[in-house]
Amino acid sequence: MLIGELSRRTGVHERLLRYYEQQGLLHPRRTPSGYRDYRESDVRAVRRIRELLAAGLNTATIATALPCLHDEGERMVPVCPEMVKRLRHERERISRAIAELDASRSALDGVISAASDPGPGLAWDIGEPRLG
């Protein structure tokens, strides 16, 4: 199938499909006239790529993960022991990022709550403090 068909079937823009190829995530054959020729398995590969991107993995990690992942029904199962270790490392990285974002949100909540209750003797008007 040509790139337009793969784009329609996966909902992924053609430009992104070319990017995936540049990143080593897709390996289409080429027709004699140079067009990309995708296989049915590429539809599944694009879906896997999208799931892994949504899970927070970057394309370099996905490129190493794809050969080690096999479909079991609707889920991907890692079959290379080193990949499980790498995925656990990525999960820890994501957990740290979530903790940092949570701390940032808490700090911002503190600033926001201070603005809605400025304390005794202060009032806020368009972001400018003045004595009340």
Q: Please give the CATH architecture assigned to the domain spanning 1-79.
A: Orthogonal Bundle (1.10)
How many whole angstroms separate alpha carbon 107 and alpha carbon 103?
6
Of residues 73 and 130, more confidence is placed in 73
Least confident window among 5-14, 68-77, 82-91, 118-127: 118-127
Q: What confidence score (pLDDT) does residue 115 get?
A: 82
Instruction: Please give the mean pLDDT across all residues of the chain.
Output: 88
Positive or negative: CA dihedral 43, 46, 50, 52 = positive
Neighbours of 116 (CB within 10 A): 7
Shortest CA distance to 85 belongs to which of 63, 52, 61? 61
Q: Is 55 exposed, middle or buried (0-12, 13-18, 19+ CB in 10 A)?
A: middle
* For the chain, domain boundaries: 1-79, 81-132
pTM of the model: 0.73
By residue count, the chain amounts to: 132
Distance, in Å, from the CA atom of 57 to the CA atom of 50, rounded to the nearest integer, reads 10
Q: Which residues contact 53 (CB under 8 A, 6 or more apart)?
A: 59, 62
What is the pLDDT at residue 131?
54
- pLDDT exceeds 90 at position 49: yes
In this predicted structure, which of 4-13, 55-64, 72-81 has the lowest mean pLDDT? 72-81
Higher pLDDT residue, 76 or 104? 104
Q: Name all contacts of 32-37 with Cβ < 8 Å and 24+ positions apart.
A: 35/2, 35/3, 36/2, 36/3, 37/1, 37/2
Residue 39 reports pLDDT greater than 90: yes
